Structure 1
């Protein structure tokens, strides 16, 4: 057998062997076990170059200029998930247990300074100013008209007695601008009073009472009942807007800086941890991961073989060696 024939036979046998291995769950089990043994107690920080990883992600963000290509996939996926959620009988109480709710509430109550800032910002928003001003004006107008307050003024009551009730309406109309002007001029003081009242009322005890009462009301409710009220086309519109916002934010230096800092911080945090440490913290073992991962990988390889994708790839990767000068020289040295 010539060297070229031997090389061809070895390559074909290697391809067949590798193709069969990749479809065998036991092979994946062994492969993952060997990888785990090789890593041993090596901290992840020594296996990952944070700088290189950051550069790769940053370049990906820069070069992948649009999320539009995945828009249809995101829409279809989201709609399928929402459809399933609409048909699910799970309640809010099942999704957020009372114990978890209490833990979140406890942390929220510690944010008093943030709460006061939020109240201040809300009460000083122009929309709130306009709303409060309009509410006060409407209340004053209704009091004067519906409670006949103007009719009690000297001179007005006599007019009403002789059937001239329209005088009251006209008088109110003439006062409209002056009342609105007064309210607008003094609205800041009114809102400041409202802010002080809210801060005084929203004590931790009061918030606890309101929050627990709200939780007990919504705990038996089903998210499905509310999801069913989402208008058709909402998901598509939101995904379209989300993709556009994502495209714009990806081009910002601000985004890339945050990604870089985030990656470095993540690697630094993992620097002294081993894979075993992380899995232990996640309350799962390597054996358990291999148990459900190996069959899935083997099944995936079988599908790739059925679709005619895996074998050409294996052939290409093996040809890189079997057609190389290094392989030919190795065989020649053996034959000689």
Structure 2
């Protein structure tokens, strides 16, 4: 290319760069974005999701970031900072449980939980069959029997009966020092075996009397007590450290979970379900179903584009990007051939 042609190419490059800068700056930006967005939306009606991406592509990306990405060491510290900030926020002092959940929504949740009858039955059966329940019930019965024997009507109303029982107990203790402990252990063992044997029946009894209406009434009584309370009332029993440790524990659990095959299978299954529904749908239909319309896209574009472009211009970073990309054309053989033909 001759010197004159080179100077023409350079002049065209400068003009092109400044034209683009003018287009993306000031009042010209919004009409530019509107025009491009409208053109994209027209094309969105012609393109199907399967035309643009495959489910394998989306799965690979999802797994890369949701399962395979090695998270930085600063994440746990950030999680702790967020937990402390949330705990200390003064919104807790102004917000009650009732502000977050309406009576209608609470009733809907309670009704849905009550519909899970088979799950409730399993939980009750497992609970009453647990060693904790057997131990609790046995201790309750033992202390009740022991208290009754100590405070029953015979020892209260018959003169001298209490003294005679104490005397008999003292004599038996001297004659057989370990007899009282043996009787106590035997009684506890017998009660424990009885409770264990009858726990299955007690589960049925509990389920019989804990019917839907009873449980619903209990739930609503509980809700009526707590809904006026402020969220800050939880601070009486939950400290900032508790919340922080809870967040960190949840984060560590998620880190472990994301390394399991189950986690990966669930991600894949979710993406398959999405493509089964929308794979043959147009991008326009997909946007409509997601509730994303033109006004929303324009609003967000104008929210971010002007300040970002202004910041890049102020740092003199945007013009070099435009010039670098356009220069490759104006210095190319294609541009040279056009200029040489003039």
Alignment of 1:63-102 (within 5 A): 63-66=68-71, 68-84=73-89, 86-102=91-107
List runs of 5+ in structure 1 lacking aligned partners. Answer: none
Alpha carbons of 1:41 and 1:222: their partners in 2 closer, same or farther (altered >3 Å)?
farther
The match for 1:205 among 178, 201, 213 is: 213
Match of 1:105 in 2: 110
**Match in the other structure for 2:44:** 39
Q: Does 1:330 align with 2:334?
A: yes
Tell me the secondary structure at the aligned position of residue 190 of structure 2: helix
Alignment of 1:212-223 (within 5 A): 212-223=220-231
Tell me, in whole angstroms, the C-alpha distance in 2 between the residues paired with 1:247 and 1:22. Answer: 43
- Cα deviation 1:74-117 (Å, max 9, x = unaligned): 33233323333654522222211122222223322322122111
Q: Does 1:194 align with 2:199?
A: no
Separation (CA, whole Å) in 2 of partners of 1:130 and 1:165: 30
- The alignment's TM-score, normalised by the length of structure 2, stands at 0.79
Whether 1:128 and 2:128 are equivalent positions in the alignment is no
- Is 1:116 matched with 2:121? yes
CA contact (8 A) 2:125 2:203 kept: yes
- Partner SS for 1:295: helix
Aligned to 1:243: 251
Deviation at 1:177, TM superposition (A): 0.1
Is the partner of 2:238 in helix, strand or coil?
A: coil
Following superposition, the deviation at residue 307 of structure 1 comes to: 5.4
Separation (CA, whole Å) in 2 of partners of 1:167 and 1:22? 101
Deviation per residue, 1:114-145 (Å, 9 max, x gap): 21112112222222222222222222222223
Paired residue total: 329
- Secondary structure in structure 1 of the residue aligned to 2:53: coil
Instruction: Name the counterpart of 1:285.
Output: 293
Distance 1:255 1:162, change over 3 A: closer
Name 1:261's counterpart in structure 2: 269
Aligned to 1:142: 147
Deviation digits for residues 132-189 of structure 1 (CA, Å, limit 9, x no counterpart): 22222222222223x147848x9x9657159749749968644210111112222223
Contact 2:87–2:240 at 8 Å: present in 1 too?
Answer: no
**Local SS of the residue matching 2:240:** coil
Long gaps (5+) in structure 2: 174-178
Contact 1:144 1:150 in 2 (8 A): no
Evaluate the alpha carbon distance shift between residue 98 and residue 163 of structure 1 in structure 2; reply closer, same or farther with a 3 A threshold. Answer: closer
Deviation string for 1:256-289 (max 9, x for gaps)? 2222122221222333555554555566632134
Tell me what 1:177 maps to: 185
Structure with max Cα Rg: 2
Distance in 2 between the 1:159 and 1:91 partners? Answer: 56
TM-superposed deviation, 1:61:
4.3
Does the CA-based 8 Å contact 1:65-1:247 persist in structure 2?
Answer: no
SS of the residue 1:323 aligns to:
helix
Equivalent in 160, 163, 170 of residue 163 of structure 2: 160
TM-score using structure 1 length: 0.80
Correspondence for 1:51 among 47, 56, 65: 56
Range 239-248 or range 51-60, more displaced? 239-248
Instruction: Compute the displacement of 1:7 (Å).
Output: 5.1
